[in-house]
A and B are shown apart, each in its own frame.
Chain A
């Protein structure tokens, strides 16, 4: 099993990578710090698992070199679990990539990173509900300070492929109860 870290540029994938593997990848606060993939090893329930830090991508239709690398990494690692790292303060566009990955049949875990930034911006996300709709584990994280990592790692094993139709159903079925 392999784990791929995927998400938009500058959502903190490299911070995840360094935290989880203890490796030394450059982290910066601007998009495009990682333009090539990085591999490392992490311990998952007593097992050594390969973790790959994939360059940031907005979608799976590549528009630049870094996105090409990202799409290629995904295609080459059919047997992997994808940790979709989202910017919790810009959750909608992050979900786009996450849905694309889920549609392709990869088991996924969603990390709502920059949780602190979202709180600053007064954005509240109903994590449990999101988890119910998507059918994949959703974990709020603040990578810089390390919050939420333990939970994230413990949920990786729970990731399983979800049919997109099922997500549509659970999203649509509750529409009447929308906007709380």
Chain B
């Protein structure tokens, strides 16, 4: 016969009285650090310092050191010219255009590209996006993330932001899926499982899919428009909190307290960090490489067959009229269904051609973030949510894109920059 809850606790009490002895606790250095990082007065500056450090490392290691210092040169000065010289065909040859360099019109003449953003080829832009930019961003992100994870900082951050997140019906724990999503939305969505109610999970997944850019995307945005990153994150954060607030009001269900353990700080072990870095980076490559290459092929074919021009003509008025971005943006939007990093890469190509204003670039980058989760994330949401919730997520997405996208355009008009 099973015991009642009380009887079980009584038994535990008896057992522990006989076997456990609590000695006097010493106040250790660990305790002191633990207190510093959760008390708001010291915890908030520490959190800012940690995030700033995280970001600086991300930019310096991935952006400056690897991508700019090494990969851009490798790809633009060696890989692209080499391919242009040895690959059969040449400008105007469709296969060459698809694989290496689509070229672009300058003064009425089709000229060869001189960088891998512009070239639009599978072997050039596609490879550059994955191995030149995104791989290093992902590596840098996961290195820092693993250290924070293993040290035990994330639950403390959760305690700190708990009050703010409660205002939008989420628990401080939401910081874990959110932070994870900044690396990749797929594990982020999986990490919503400890949330207790379907409402919280639905809200979390929807917010993640719409407002949290992944590491691959951040990496390439940082390479392309470093000066805009502050505004981009601010815009997304406002959307995340604002839309979370609205969702909390309209989605039925409860948002109960979720009581989470704050584990003791631990010294991260090199073994575990290296292993996690390896697991996550290899998972990234397995998912990213095929999708980026497939995406480049699809976009390339759509350009070659004229489908892209047709779509641009059809959707142009909507894009220009409502969002204030040029009809060419349709190409990155198509690629974005598969991979956001590739999409931003294609946007970079358009930027290099000088057909977009700064504000249009900004709007497009935000649109690319929020208009649809990438295919891998969407597939996972199909698995995690029931039919009604999927429809809810999609409806939220559509509403959000039009409202927020239009709003950004409106702000641009009012500021006189759109």
Which residues of A line the B interface, CB within 8 A? Answer: 8-10, 24, 26-32, 35-36, 63-66, 89, 91-92, 95-96, 99-100, 103-104, 117, 120-127, 129-130, 133-134, 144, 164, 167-168, 171-172, 174-175, 177-180
Contacts and interface: CB of A to CB of B under 8 A. Distances in A.
Interface of B: 2-3, 8-9, 11-26, 28, 30, 146, 149-152, 154-155, 173, 176, 190-191, 193-196, 201, 260-261, 263-266, 269, 272, 275-276, 278-280
Contacts of B3: 99, 103, 164
B330 to A, nearest CB: 38
Contact of A171 (B11, B30, B176, B280): B11
A122 B194 contact: no
User: 8 shortest A-B CB distances, which residue pairs?
Assistant: A122-B23, A35-B193, A32-B194, A29-B152, A28-B149, A65-B193, A171-B14, A130-B19
A31 B159 CA distance: 13
A30 B153 CA distance: 8
A122 B26 CA distance: 8
B176 A32 contact: yes
Contacts of B176: 30, 32
Q: In this complex, which of A8, A24, A29, A117 has the most chain B Cβ atoms within 10 angstroms of its Cβ? A: A29
Contacts of A144: 266, 269
A175 B14 contact: yes
Given A9-B261, A177-B18, 15 more contacts: A26-B279, A27-B272, A27-B276, A30-B149, A30-B263, A92-B12, A99-B8, A123-B20, A125-B20, A167-B11, A168-B11, A171-B18, A175-B17, A178-B14, A178-B18
A122 B264 contact: no
Contacts of B14: 171-172, 175, 178
Nearest to B16: A92
Nearest to B14: A171
A31 B26 contact: no
B21 A123 contact: yes
B227 to A, nearest CB: 34
A63 B196 contact: yes
16 contacts: A27-B150, A28-B276, A30-B152, A31-B194, A31-B263, A32-B173, A35-B193, A36-B190, A65-B193, A95-B15, A120-B30, A123-B20, A123-B23, A125-B20, A129-B18, A175-B17
Contacts of B195: 64
A147 B262 CA distance: 24
B15 A66 contact: no
A114 B195 CA distance: 26
Contact of B25 (A8, A9, A96, A121): A121
Given A122-B26, A171-B14, A179-B17, A100 B8 contact: yes
